[in-house]
Each structure stands twice: as C-alpha cells, then as structure tokens.
Amino acid sequence: MVRSSVLGYPRIGADREWKKALEAFWAGKLEESEFQLQLQEIRLNHLRKQQEKGIDLIPVNDFSYYDHILDTAAMFGIIPKRFAFEGGVVPLSVYYGVARGTKEAAASEMTKWFNTNYHYIVPELSGASPVITENKPLAAYREAKEKLGIEGKPVIVGPLTFLKLSKGYSASETDAWLHRLLPLYVQILQELAEEGVQWVQIDEPILVTKLSEEDVQRLKTVYETFAASVPNLNIMLQTYFEAVDRYTDIVSLPVKGIGLDFVHGLSGNIQSIKTCGFPADKVLGAGVIDGRGIWKASLRGKLELLEQLAQFVPAERLLVQTSSSLLHVPVTTERETKLTSELKNVLAYADEKLDELVVITKAATSGSSGIAEELEQCDRALQALQQSEERNRSSIQQAVAAISAEQAERSRPFAERHAAQQAKWQLPLFPTTTIGSFPQSAEVRKARQLWRKGEWSNEQYAAFIREQIDTWIKIQEEIGLDVLVHGEFERTDMVEFFGEKLAGFAFTQNGWVQSYGSRCVKPPVIFGDVAFTGEMTVEETRYAQSRTSRPVKGMLTGPITIMNWSFVRDDIPREQIAYQLAYALRQEVEALEKAGIGMIQVDEPAVREGLPLKEEEQEAYLAWAVKAFRIATCTVQETTQIHTHMCYCEFHDMIDSIEAMDADVISIETSRSHGELIHSFELNTYKLGIGLGVYDIHSPRVPSVEEMTGMIERALRVLDPKLFWINPDCGLKTRGLEETVASLRNMVDATKIAREKYAALV
C-alpha cells in the first residue's frame, strides 16, 4: 500500500495569525505566556488539518518561531557571544536578538535558502561550544501525540547541510566541527528512538549541490554513525530543490529511506533511477507534488510518473510526497474570491496540495478508476487556461522572438558613455544617492487604503502623492544628496506595483508566503503572456524632476526580479518569460527618457537567487538573465545613465555577469554581510560605476559617520574612486523618518570627509 507524506507545512496561518502574534510580542503587546499559547494553537491547527485530510506521515518540528536554521543553532546552543547567552534553553529575547539585532548587538547575517525566496539566519560557529539546550524534535513529537494522537515524523536539518550553511570556521576545520556536532545529533536521535518514534526526516538539501570526495566521506561517517547508534530508527534522508549529486553514493548510505525531488529535479533523479536502479532495502520518498509552485498538478501526469517509478520500487516501499516543504506556497485557495474561475481552478496552495497527495496516493494504491471524476476536472481546468487568450498573445510572442534574437547592446561602450554623462551631469567626486524608496508612514498606507476602497478619488490620491514627493525632495536637497529619487510613495511592493500595470498578471487576496521572520509577501501570479499597456512610473518621476534642479532617477524593477519574485507559469521556459518582461520594461524605459528623465534605475536584487543549483546550468541562466536586463535598457541614449541595484547575495562568482549587464552604475548591499563582499573586488577588478551600501537599512540604529567612513575607506582600496558612488545598502521604505534623515546626514558627512581626502582626483 502506497502512503502519503508531507515534508513541511506553512507556518504563517491562513490569516497570517503567526505573523500577527510575532509582531504583537515584539511590540510588547503580548505577554510571553500568551504568545506561547497562541503559537501552540496555530501549530496544532496545522497538524490537525493534515490529520483530517488523511496524510499518513505528518511532519512535526517543521514549525518555527522565526526560522528553522536558527532553531537548529539554538538547539545546539550556537549563539554568538555578543548576545551574552549564558547556557540552558535559549530565551526568546536571545533567540529574537540573533534574528533581529538588539541595541547592543548586530543581528546575525541573513541570506537566501538555496534558490528560493525564503531567507534563513546564518549560524555563527566562531567561538561556539555546541551542547544540546533542548530536544526540540522530541518536544514536537510528544505534543502532536499527546494533543492530537498523531504519530508524527520529526524533521531535523541534517549535520552536513547545517555545517555547510554556517559561517565562522575555515575549510580545514570542517571535519573537526562535524565531529563536535555528531554526538549531539546522535543524542537527539537516541532520545527519539527511546520515545518510540517510527520515522525521522533528516533534511540534507545540500546533497543536490556539487559534492566533493571529502563531503561524500563525511556523509558516510555521519549516517554510518547514526545507523550504529539508532539501528531501529527509520531515517528518511530527505533532499529537495534539484536532483541529487552523487546518486549511487547517496542511495548506498545506511538509512531506511531516500527522499528525492521529482518536480524540480525530475530529469536528473528519474535518469539516475533508470540507470542505476533503487535499493531493495529502502523506501523511496517520491516528491511528485510541487512544494514551491502554486499550479494544480496534472494528476494524469503524476500517476504516469508513479507508474514509471513502480518499475523500480514496489508499492509497500513508496511514499508519495511533496517535492519540498510547503513553506514556499500560500495556505489555501478557499479565500480567493476575486480570481476568475479559469485561473482559480488551476491553483493549488498548501491545502490543495494535501488533497492532491491524498488523491494520487489513493490512485497509486487502488487504481485510477477510483478518481475518474478528479482526473476529468483536472484535465478541463488545465486545458481551459492553456487555450485562453492570455496565453496566446501572438503579437507579443512575435515581438519577443525578434528582440531576443538581437545583440541588445548600448550604442557606445561604457568609457565613452561615462565621459558624456559626466559632461552632462557635472557630478562631484563620490556622488551620493539612495536606492529608491523612502519611509512609508502610517499616513501613506492609510491614504493608499482609502484610495483602493474608493473613498478617495484618483485626483485626491495623486495630490497626496505629490505632497509626499514635495516633502522628500526638499529633505533630500537639505541633506545634500546629489542624485534624488521621488520616494515611491505610490507603490506597495516593488514587484506588485508593476504587475498591476502589465497584462499577463493576476493578484491574489491571500497568496501570502513567508520571506523572512514575520515578513510575508504576496507574489503576483504571471499566468499569461506579459504585455506593456501604458506608462507606469512616468507621471510621478516627471513631477519630482520638475521640483528640483538636481537629477531625479526613474525607478523600475528589473525583469529577472519581477520573475523571480512572482509565481510564474510553468508551461514555457523561464527565459521566455524574462524576455517578455524585458520587452515591456524597455517600453517604460523609453517613455521615461522621452519625458526628460536622464537617470533610470532598473533594480535586479533577485538575479543571484535565481541561479540554478547545478553548476552546469548556471552559465546559461546568467547569459539570458544578463540579456534580459540589456533588452530592457539598451535603447537609451549614451547620456542616459542606467543604474541597477542588487542585495542579499554573494556575488564573488558572478562579477563577470554583473559587469556584462553594462549598467552605468550598480549599487550592491555590503553592510549586513559586514563588508565581506568588498573582498570580491579585492580579487576581481570592476570597471563600471559602483556604489557599495555603506550602512544597513534593516536595523533601526543610526550608524555613525566613523562607521561609514571605514566602509568607504576599505572600498576605495579596491575600487576606482572616480567611479565610486555612496549610498545606503537598500531602500528605506521600512524605516522611520527621524532615523532615515539622521542616517543620511551621517552618510553625507562621511562622503565630505572622503572628498577632502581624495580631492586631488577631481
């Protein structure tokens, strides 16, 4: 009999009640005891839902108070010394301090979870002495069993993945650290085995990346140790997001089950099984339901896939699973009352994916005749969207085919453009600017709400936005910034704003997913061919420019970021979606230039996160990502200065691609990673204009002039001062007015100090 299994469930709740509880606790509006009770109820509701739907193996310990990697670090007492942790169970004040920072200590680094839009907190191993502070998987297992009668499947981040995602140790210390952690994992597993746990899911997504011979030996050491220490515990070694590297080595490990992704790693994993078979002594966790996308599965296609797998794995050794945790998708489509039936009928959020799992598990056990009606409904829904007008805009398809065949190059090389732009703008040494957005106050949010509800007319709202622009143009001039922005007060989100103005997009009411901590985002849905329908940003930018003699940047979100921060259609290659977006944005860039805007920023913060996990696929991705940016920006005059912005990423392995984008100026986040990115430029020359963010906007603290001067000094050791810009590391939308102004004043003061020192270069 085939069974069903889930790798993890969304934390946030159908009404984002998890987010609301966190933020109320942080604001001091909720006592810790009440906070704990609220989170327990949310957690139990999630388990109860999976139980009621009929999932066989229900995950426990997948719930988190912030982030599952931070949970693992806290479980092992790996807390940076600056937080003055004194041992024992990590208090919430320390736990959230590591995640968010305190007045006394900077937060730990935050970065992307593999190639997803989720961020995790990077563990800092330097100076740590790991011990078990509490057995969190055991507590989660007991709670599910005692409260709901669920025989849960504890989920644990595996030791190799945890170690590879941590920082604060050298490569030569890897084995030493592994041997420090291994006894702690063994103790956790032994206590689970003694409790009577049947299955434990150990997540090792690092196995889908390139593994060295040393890594393979480390894996063998780890799992042979587990097998010897807990011989009767069923361990599911779980991978996801891609096909595994070193398939034969992995499936030979002494574990009871191997979980593979047959959605995003379909071709590689199915080929490995066909070529090498699958061990007769193991259970296959077949991840056939997409844990990351929102589209309804083709039930017939999934059953055909399971039939292929049945040639190698009998039913009693098959688990039908999600391809990854459902953390990456919204909770339920039930509340989506405003979507067309054509679109809603092809969406599957977490709860609908549970239903899909149950249906195909039933069919895999008893045959497809028992789900004939479900199969017919699924076929009709998928076919209706595929045949829709939105997916068959022939004029767009033809235009995009034509521009994607072109070279997409600026009319002049950078050196000539730079000279022409400098002659036009007469900018000082180390020009100062911001990334684009300014604080969105309660007043701004209320105004937008009144307008969206129809209580304000378009004219009232436009007048309010102009007032905000007037205020912040004056503030920027008073502070002394050289290149200004209009502030983006009309925008809710840097992707949603553009999606609402382009054809081919849809917007959900409750399609929320966790980005980091309590930060939830509601990605647009790209479901059809993307088309430009009219000017999107010209009115506000042109107005801002009319209020000052200093240059005002036009602000756009780039094609790759719009794509990577949306839920995208899966019926055509992502490359084609990127080119459609680029073609639409090109028309907006040209409209801005025609309106007299001579600096245009096309932000691409999400280029790096879309990088394929497989090295052999990365070059092709970067090539078409760069091309999409150039398609959007290449038609402007040589005196029009193209800016871009990137953040949250390691760029050392893609400096060449960044340069190939041929932006006149790029600004890059460096402050949250404590200037580590600057080391990339110590190893690689960069010949275009660049601004490295000199302070962290994610923290409410106001950085000193001395801090920023130090960051500038280090950057100027490796970058050409004549091409260097000074700016914060990201937009200022989430910050308050006073801290924003104070921080920018300090930034300008630090710039003045640098200008005095390097005055001879002017």
Q: Known catalytic residues?
A: 698
Do residues 558 and 602 make contact, with C-beta atoms less than 8 angstroms apart?
Answer: yes
Let me know the angle formed at the C-alpha of 533 by 529 and 539, rounded to the nearest 5 degrees. 140
Q: What H or E segment, with its residue span, contains residue 394? A: helix 394-404
Q: Is 512 annotated as a binding residue?
A: no
Q: Is 136 annotated as a binding residue?
A: no
Q: Is 112 annotated as a binding residue?
A: yes
Q: Is 730 annotated as a binding residue?
A: yes
| Residue 461 token pair | 């709202």
Do residues 315 and 365 make contact, with C-beta atoms less than 8 angstroms apart?
Answer: yes
Q: Is 249 annotated as a binding residue?
A: no
Q: Is 153 annotated as a binding residue?
A: no
Q: Is 276 annotated as a binding residue?
A: no
Q: Is 19 annotated as a binding residue?
A: yes
Q: What is the CA radius of gyration of the chain?
A: 26
Helices (H) and strands (E) in the chain, counts: 27, 21
How many other β-carbons are positioned within 10 Å of the β-carbon of residue 60? Answer: 28
Q: Is 519 annotated as a binding residue?
A: yes
Q: What is the 3-state secondary structure (H, E, C) of 643-685?
A: EEEECCCCCCCCHHHHHHCCCCEEEECCCCCCCCCHHHHHHCC
- First-to-final CA distance of the chain: 77
Q: Is 603 annotated as a binding residue?
A: yes
Q: Is 488 annotated as a binding residue?
A: yes
Cα distance between residue 79 and residue 105, in whole Å: 12
Q: Is 609 annotated as a binding residue?
A: yes
Q: Is 717 annotated as a binding residue?
A: no
199-203 vs 234-238, strand pairing mode: parallel
Q: Is 199 annotated as a binding residue?
A: no
Length of the chain: 762
| Residue 139 token pair | 């507590």
Give 387-395 contacts, CB < 8 A, sequence gap 24+: 388/342, 388/528, 389/528, 390/503, 390/504, 390/527, 390/528, 390/529, 391/527, 391/528, 391/529, 391/569, 391/571, 392/529, 393/503, 393/504, 393/528, 393/529, 393/531
Cα distance between residue 60 and residue 158, in whole Å: 15
Q: Is 435 annotated as a binding residue?
A: yes
Let me know the angle formed at the C-alpha of 311 by 309 and 312, rounded to the nearest 5 degrees. 75
Cα distance between residue 56 and residue 89, in whole Å: 32
Cα distance between residue 538 and residue 260, in whole Å: 48
Binding site, annotated residues for L-methionine: 435-437, 488, 603
Binding site, annotated residues: 16-19, 112, 435-437, 488, 519-520, 565, 603, 609, 645, 647, 669, 730
Binding site, annotated residues for L-homocysteine: 435-437, 488, 603
Binding site, annotated residues for 5-methyltetrahydropteroyltri-L-glutamate: 16-19, 112, 519-520, 565, 609
